[in-house]
Amino acid sequence: MQDGRTTLSKFLIDTLDRQPCASTQGMAGLSALLIDVAAAIKSISAMLTKGALGGHYGSAQTVNTHGEEQKKLDVATNEIFVQQCEWDGLLAAMVSEEMEDVYAIPSGYPRGEYLLAFDPLDGSSNIDINGVVGSIFSVLRTRDPADSAATESADESANEAAFLRPGCEQVAAGYAVYGPSTMLVLSVGNGTHGFTLERDIGNFVLTHSNIRIPDDTAEFAINASNERFWEPPVRRYVQECKDGRSGCRARDFNMRWIASMVAEVHRILMRGGVFMYPRDSKTPAMEGRLRLLYEANPMSFLIEQAGGLAITGRERILDVRPHALHGRVPVILGSKNEVERIARYHGEYDRGEDKPFTSPLFGTRSLFLPDFTA
């Protein structure tokens, strides 16, 4: 497929619909669903482009399920996703950062076999400063077609448990980044591909096929104001980067923080790097800051499909078994060799091999150490 000429629809037809066993493998309808998602993204892009003139700035005077104040745009973009995707007979249910419970497809519409989890407006604190924001989405199938499809009732396919599956079961994932141009970055399990919105015509056009993340990098992204709350292995890694040429890494590193996960992941897909929102002791009840189902999982899928790695520090994110719709997880992702190094630092800390970095803030050591080099 040719960059600059292939539209999203053509890409999806060639990648999914023209595969010999598309329908028997249960992938029928996935391309149509992704086109619905792309339509939602185009509407959101048009809305955001209007900026303060669109009448969508400011607070919605409501609070979401995480106790965060919802902005008018959070509510409006959530509505756009729901309305574009609910009617087409492709979905059984949806989950969104902006909705507390599972949204089952209303009985007036036909039900399909896919489940959509999404964050309609990621990084929304950037809205007021006209900064980069995004939308993130993840697609699961309600069941394996080899399973007893006939015995699963509509209620079972649309309840909370249907969504509580590890990210390695995703059949598609992607994000939109609303920057100077709007891009849709997508994977259906055959690499990560980027499409740029041609605004005059309204098509997403393939511009970045088969994105590959360099294994090595000298750039990291983390909210450094949380340093005192980090675990020792993360403090060790960041300190070594900051030591630069005169430290044990023997080279200078650069740091970036945009406060928008979509923008950080996009940069990493374009030129490499590491993004961290690690476990910290700031809010002990929370495992991490980012949500597993509609932030960490889809981004990890895209990163792995582009040759990078995504871990919690101690476990591959795509293997984490979710316990709650809006559950959180620590996230460390990006260039393979750096993420492997951070995994090793967690292992050394857990085994007590890094005494100078042992902190009273984190008294417990995990004995679990994955082998990311396997």
Q: Which of residues 261-280 bind ligand F6P (CB under 6 A)?
A: 261, 277
Q: Does 308 bind ligand F6P (CB under 6 A)?
A: no
Q: For CA atoms 156, 159, 162, 165, give the dihedral sign.
A: negative
Q: Does 223 bind ligand F6P (CB under 6 A)?
A: yes
Chosen residue from 123, 272, 273, 322 binding ligand F6P by CB under 6 A: 123
Residue 119 marked ligand-binding = yes
- Angle (CA) 173-125-263 rounded to 5° is 40
Q: For CA atoms 259, 287, 73, 40, give the dihedral sign.
A: positive
Q: What six digits make up the tokens of 200?
A: 């005059």
Shortest distance, CB of residue 260 to ligand F6P, whole angstroms?
Answer: 5
Q: Is 52 exposed, middle or buried (0-12, 13-18, 19+ CB in 10 A)?
A: exposed
Q: Give whole-number Cα distances, 186 to 17, 91, 253, 335, in Å.
A: 16, 18, 29, 18
Stretch that binds ligand F6P, among 43-51, 78-86, 157-165, 256-264 (CB under 6 A): 256-264
Stretch that binds ligand F6P, among 12-20, 21-29, 210-218, 254-262 (CB under 6 A): 254-262
Shortest distance, CB of residue 68 to ligand F6P, whole angstroms?
Answer: 8
User: Which residues have a Cβ under 8 Å from the Cβ of 366 and sit 6 or more positions away?
Assistant: 314, 350
Nearer to ligand F6P, 148 or 225 (CB): 225
> What whole-number distance in Å separates Cα of residue 117 and Cα of residue 125?
21
Q: Does 218 bind ligand F6P (CB under 6 A)?
A: no
Nearer to ligand F6P, 197 or 276 (CB): 276
Stretch that binds ligand F6P, among 143-151, 154-162, 245-253, 259-267 (CB under 6 A): 259-267
By CB under 6 A, name the binding residues for ligand F6P: 122-123, 223, 259-261, 277, 289-290
